Amino acid sequence: MGNLWLLAEVAAKMPKAEVAIGRQTGLNSTNQEESIEQKDVSKSKKWQSNECGKNVTKMEEHMRTHTGENPYSCDRCGKSFSRSYNMKRHTKTHTGEKPYSCPTCRKSFPGLSEIKRHAKIHSGEKPYSCLICGKSFSQSYHVKTHMMTHTGEKPYSCLKCGKSFSRSCNMKRHMKTYTDEKSYSCPTCRKNFSQPDYMKKHMGIHTDKMSYSCEVCGQVFKRKPYLKSHMKTHNKNRPLFNCTVCGKCYLNYDRLNLHKKNHERS
């Protein structure tokens, strides 16, 4: 009940069009609960996804998590999103706009959903529990993701190779390995990478005495045998081409031939 009062105080400071619980600070807890119940009723109609079996209220939006479709694009940076709400929330990162302020700690947020999640930090509320191990969570989607550790469910599949993932964000990150998109740049040498983890691993070559670097992900190694073993993890079905002079490995034969010319010139 305490959390309802906190959310009501938050809502009182928000634009009227976005207030979901109470339209004025004078509402009592009963009216607040009724308002929440009415909102829940409007979302009660659900359809079952043929892809993963989940019951969802917005089937078209849900299917985009399986197809990877992102029809909404940011006018400033071109980043695309599956939902218009997420795109609008993203645009605030360019303007720095954070109109929603927590009444307890004064921390500001760009969207209504963010401040609602944040409010539970102060209340300590964790109403969502795992039916198998009993672990509690503050958000419903956290317990849904956690449940997959028990069931082994991986509903999100790569359209290229069929590899499955438990979370859509992991699937989308994996999909970038098939494109030329490299959004993360090393601040030292400006080399670009598709994943932030790849860039961080690469940066070790500038700070540590590591001379063997993976040409796929940028991870660096102190010894050549470690690099050879690592290269096989990127594609277990794809053979490596080894230089007969120095033993250096390449993922394709053309790269190996270019490398051999260095030995011919020396």
Annotated domain spans of the chain: 58-122, 126-179, 184-265
Nearest in space to 64 (alpha carbons), one of 80, 75, 44, 88: 80
CB atoms within 10 A of CB 21: 19
Residue 38 amino acid letter: Q
* pLDDT at res. 95: 80
At the topology level of CATH, where does 58-122 sit?
A: Double Stranded RNA Binding Domain (3.30.160)
* pLDDT at res. 231: 77
| Fold match between domain 58-122 and domain 126-179 | yes
CA-to-CA separations, 251 to 57, 158, 196, 234, 238, in angstroms, rounded: 45, 22, 22, 10, 8
Token pair 């990877």: residue: 68
> What are the pLDDT tens digits along the chain (266 aa)?
444 444 445 444 444 334 333 333 333 434 444 444 444 444 556 777 777 777 777 888 878 878 878 888 888 888 888 888 788 878 877 787 888 888 888 888 888 888 888 887 788 788 888 888 888 888 787 888 888 888 888 888 888 888 888 888 788 777 777 766 666 778 778 777 767 777 777 776 676 555 677 777 777 777 777 788 777 777 656 666 788 888 777 766 677 888 888 888 76
* pLDDT at res. 182: 67
Interhelix angle 112-123/2-12, nearest 10 degrees? 140
Q: Domain 126-179: give its CATH superfamily.
A: Classic Zinc Finger (3.30.160.60)
d(CA 28, CA 196): 48
